[in-house]
Amino acid sequence: MTATIVTIGDEILIGQVLDTNSQYIAKAFDRIGIDVHEMISISDDRNHILDTFSKLQDNTDFVLITGGLGPTKDDITKKTLAEYFDDELVSDSNVLAHVENLFHKFTGTKAPLLQTNIDQALVPSKATVLHNEFGTAPGMWLQKGGTVFISMPGVPYEMKGLIDTVVIPKIVHDFERPYIIHKTIMTYGMGESLLADKIADWENSLPDFIKLAYLPSPGRVRLRLSARGKDKQVLETALSEKIEVISKIIGDVIVGFEEDKTIEAVLGGQLAQKGLTVATAESCTGGKIAQIITSIPGSSKYYKGSIVSYSKDVKINNLGVSEQTIAQHSVVSAEVASEMADNVRKILKTDYGIGVTGNAGPTSDDTPEEIGVVFIAIATPNEIIAERFNFGQPREKVIDRAVNKSLEMLQKEILKNV
């Protein structure tokens, strides 16, 4: 079984909006064992939409469509769907009641609906309506030939609500699917080429139903194994065996396994489980470490906060970094990072502290270090570890690598000390 994701909207094609919907839908389908064959972004153009639909019909089982359902003139997905299905738009009384309800809640009045609001309740007569809890544009489920067309709004949280509570449950209920299991091996500190060289024989020994992918990112390579088949037990056994073998070959660079988990989620789980707390003192990362850590629901259990010291004054006055240390070593130094980490740990009364200072660029501050150089320190109850990195350019890469690296360093300390 395959699915194809179609996002509709000129704003995507001119780069004004980043399409994050496709990834969300892909993850959801992957979890229920349906392959996403292709993702396509097209314009709000009648011919382009019709042409795309007819190319996909009978070539894929599900077409997941997002976008073009708004109340305004440039949104034409609904009427184009009706045209493709040789259908007419009719008003759905349940949707109308829902629209009315949201409208009154939002405006705080009992004012009558505008025509554009009323039109939100129009759906093709052949469509099964999918309830959109978070917005006024309903989802729609239509079938033609061997293909189900599912249309959803482009607003991410409305689409997510529909996928999670309506679309996936309906597919799981109505269709039989194969098993698909992913296992990702996280390696750290060995380049992609050398790694590939070392595990070449092992890679060649993989059976057809197990696929390997290399996912390199700054400083680490993840190896993703995907097994697919009808018998879950067979898949799991085969994966375990292969992982046991590779662990003997490159065990020294394997830092863990993940099942679709980010480092901040893994780290959060470890901190929560061990009852440990952490605080951060950030300079060049500008709050991004805090933001990543707090993107995990429940992070308030282990994360107390951050002092983002974007200026030297704040480092001195609010983080207690000594003026002398700065004068002697410059703000971009192991010494300053160490004081930041240790002081924030004391100031916010936590078990661990992260301190980061560096030159993200494009211009460098008052320091002898070149652009791209970042010092990261981890303060633990027993010691302070500081490291120097050169993350190169550009700015966004430096920031992202510094964020990742600091979480990795913290994780190492947690695994070591407890």
Give the span between the Cα atoms of 100 and 112, in whole angstroms.
9
Instruction: Report, in Å, the least distance between residue 86 CB and a copy of itself.
Output: 25
Q: Measured between alpha carbons, how far is 6 from 35 in angstroms, rounded to an integer?
A: 15
368 or 415: CB nearest a copy of itself? 368
Token pair, residue 233, equals 């037990």
Q: Of the two residues 160 and 329, which places its CB atom closer to a copy of itself in the complex?
A: 160
Nearest distance from residue 335's CB to a copy of itself, in Å? 20
In b/e form, how buried is each residue of 280-317, taking b as 16+ CB within 10 angstroms?
Answer: bbbbbbbebbbebbbebeebeebbbbbbbbeebeebbe
Of 148 and 279, which CB lies nearer to a copy of itself in the complex structure? 279
The single-letter DSSP state of residue 360 is -
Nearest approach, Cβ of residue 285 and a copy of itself (Å): 8
Which of 305, 276, 277 lies closest to 290, judged by CA?
305
Q: At what angle do helices 46-56 and 77-84 cross, to 10 degrees?
A: 50
Instruction: Give the separation between CA 22 and CA 36, rounded to whole angstroms.
Output: 10
Smallest distance, Å, CB 173 to a copy of itself? 22
Measured from the CB atom, the residue of 146 and 156 that comes closer to a copy of itself is: 156
247 or 295: whose CB is closer to a copy of itself? 295
Q: How far is the CB of 3 from a copy of itself (least distance, A)?
A: 10
To a copy of itself, the closest distance from the beta carbon of 409 in angstroms equals 18
Could you list the beta-strand ranges (E) of 27-167. 35-42, 62-66, 89-91, 122-124, 128-130, 139-144, 147-152
The answer to whether the CB of 377 falls within 8 A of the CB of 355 is: yes
